[in-house]
Structure 1
């Protein structure tokens, strides 16, 4: 799969940003690596930019929901792909307490929701309207969910957004957490190959959206009142009776990063990544079998004109 394209927006424009000191280049900058391929791509592109600036970088596996204490403690120094739709309450607590600093938007055009491979519409007349799921839930039932239908939700460490919507909308489905992103993909692949029913919590950008012709269920608009006021929406007795809130994807760092590594802080603040770049790299890894390191290295080599100016603006 092709891994070139345009994507890193150059927000550090000449004349508006001044070069910063590198700081403690002898100490490693530790970047959080979470559980999904897109985040691996995002983080490694950022890390390779820091290396090009002269920094020592370590990639550290971290739990998405609980990594913010480690950031406050200075054990992790940045997280490059935080999704507003399922970020934990711990994030806001640590920002308010001053231990974590937000670095701005990553720039990905994202959406999350309840979804299905397109062939499933034949098994549930009325889709993509969410009301159709009330009548055809039994078609999605398995031995572990009977008499309810089965919803394959995000891995437990990512939160329970799918389960929340089944409860809020009073849909007769039981949410079963997937074990990993790979398990979600395996469900989509098996459903597509066997033409079997599948309801799943999923997101874009992701190469599987096009590979398995994934469609989103049309839910009531995810307005703020839906999450705080039970009287809002089709179910007057519950919150979360709506779609996901519009998703913002952003970056954050340990609050001491700007003082310890000023130029790195500037690079990560100005770093953005486009869907048109991230999604093919995800496919090159998950479909074509490339390693994250190989795929990102190829992209960096082919697109130096788009990322190098961000590094140079912060260091020269």
Structure 2
């Protein structure tokens, strides 16, 4: 299932537009780059949401009294890998503590509606201040803010780590080293539109063949080229498991052509923290940097690992391999680099 969030986020970050829907879950990592977007900026963007530290509100949850209520439903946004990754991670830990956690997939609109109406207890993938601005304007007063957990959601142009280019502009003079090609994703993706309408003209990259195809095709070429130790340039986004699966890094963007970073938040239904103070604190304690989030997503969604299947088992494997992270999460001691 193609993650359509990142297609939409692309246009949002560069053009200030707002996407109001997410699409199916997948192992291809489509995300916000993959959705459709409006050409008009939302009037509901509130920049206060950009000012959040992922360590705000953390404290030791392991010493808290157990919650008397145990049934929790988490809504995950179809097509958004990090949404399912965090939902299943929370489920894994709470199940260990005796809760009964259910994860249900929704498009973004129904997901927000469900949390605001109390039918869903929790969502973990609110993109702010841009992508979900209209949802927060509509439902914000009925949502409990459980803090942000990732602050680097953005659109990028990336290359293999051992190649020479350092900034997007370098691709103009170094085009031949990258086979004169920039590999992209779907034609309707916000990421594709941002690259075409902003990055290419601002950096004068008309000499490159911008190869628009699909997210799976781009990832297949990235895998092929890095395994062959050939230089490659692709359009990409964070968070994405490719950063853990392949030796890839982002190019610097001094002209801001790809847009700025967004912050990912968790929200609970009305009364969630009162009903589940310990579970709510665990959610507040969650904090990811690029390395750990891409590692988790790689285990869950890359074809070389679980490929989006058996997500509970995938999370259990990741948790077993990262015991310090899991312990620090409970104790509110996660450090984000």
- TM-score bracket, normalised by the shorter chain, equals 0.5 to 0.7
* Match of residue 164, structure 1, among 170, 194, 210: 194
| Structure 1 position 265, deviation (Å) | 2.3
1:74 aligns with 2:118: yes
The residue correspondences of 1:133-152 to structure 2 (distance < 5 A) are: 133=172, 139-140=180-181, 151-152=184-185
1:263 aligns with 2:278: yes
Separation (CA, whole Å) in 1 of partners of 2:138 and 2:118: 12
Which structure's relative contact order is higher, taking Cα pairs within 8 Å and 6+ residues apart? 1
How much is the aligned-residue C-alpha RMSD, in angstroms? 4.4
Contact kept in structure 2, 1:103 and 1:268, CA below 8 Å? yes
Contact kept in structure 1, 2:160 and 2:232, CA below 8 Å? no
* Match of residue 130, structure 1, among 156, 169, 174: 169
Partner of 2:86: 42
- Quickly say closer, same or farther: Cα 1:11–1:134, change in 2 above 3 A: same
| Structure 1 position 46, deviation (Å) | 0.9
Contact kept in structure 2, 1:139 and 1:197, CA below 8 Å? no
Contact kept in structure 1, 2:58 and 2:281, CA below 8 Å? no
Separation (CA, whole Å) in 1 of partners of 2:186 and 2:321: 37
Partner of 2:317: 298
1:13 aligns with 2:52: no
Separation (CA, whole Å) in 2 of partners of 1:119 and 1:275: 16
Partner of 1:227: none
Equivalent position SS for 2:90: helix
Partner of 1:272: 287
| Structure 1 position 276, deviation (Å) | 4.6
Aligned length: 265
* Match of residue 200, structure 1, among 224, 227, 235: 235
Unaligned residue ranges in structure 2 (runs of 5+): 1-53, 333-337
| Structure 1 position 56, deviation (Å) | 1.5
Partner of 1:189: 223
- Quickly say closer, same or farther: Cα 1:95–1:184, change in 2 above 3 A: farther
1:117 aligns with 2:159: yes
TM-score by length of 2: 0.59
- Quickly say closer, same or farther: Cα 1:127–1:289, change in 2 above 3 A: closer
Unaligned residue ranges in structure 1 (runs of 5+): 1-7, 141-148, 223-241
- Quickly say closer, same or farther: Cα 1:11–1:278, change in 2 above 3 A: same
| Structure 1 position 104, deviation (Å) | 1.0
| Structure 1 position 68, deviation (Å) | 1.9
Judge which range, 247-256 or 166-175, deviates more.
166-175
1:62 aligns with 2:106: yes
1:52 aligns with 2:99: no
Separation (CA, whole Å) in 2 of partners of 1:309 and 1:215: 27
- Quickly say closer, same or farther: Cα 1:120–1:311, change in 2 above 3 A: closer
The residue correspondences of 1:20-31 to structure 2 (distance < 5 A) are: 21-23=67-69, 25=70, 27-31=71-75
Q: Report which of the two structures shows the higher radius of gyration computed on alpha carbons.
A: 1
Partner of 1:236: none
